[in-house]
């Protein structure tokens, strides 16, 4: 397994902490997708309840991007 991004996450990801920013959430997304860091995922989930609407939107988009996608079947036009 490749080394993690060496990020430090809050002990309780459910805390509505200030200080989340878009870059931090993106790094959490990478940490979750590349290394399976559950605390990073929990922090993205906690950001869905952030008081800043932009942070909530970023968290929602990052979670949407990491959701499984069905395989695309070729069509006649492909």
Domain ranges of the chain: 22-65
For the whole model, what pTM was predicted?
0.63
Output the pLDDT for position 6. Answer: 56
Output the pLDDT for position 14. Answer: 44
Average pLDDT estimate for 38-56: 94
**Of 21-30, 49-58, 65-74, which range is least confident?**
65-74
Q: Is 56 exposed, middle or buried (0-12, 13-18, 19+ CB in 10 A)?
A: middle
How confident is the prediction for the chain on average, in pLDDT?
77
- Give the CA distances from residue 12 to residues 2, 17, 44, 45, 76, in Å, rounded to whole numbers and listed in that order: 25, 10, 12, 12, 51
């Amino acid at each position: 397994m490749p080394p993690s991004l060496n990020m430090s996450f809050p002990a309780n990801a459910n805390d509505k902490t200030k200080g989340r920013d878009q870059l931090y959430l993106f790094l959490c997304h990478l940490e979750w997708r590349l290394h399976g860091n559950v605390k990073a995922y929990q922090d993205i989930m906690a950001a869905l309840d952030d008081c800043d609407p932009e942070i909530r939107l970023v968290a929602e988009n990052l979670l949407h991007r990491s959701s499984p996608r069905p395989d695309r079947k070729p069509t006649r036009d492909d």
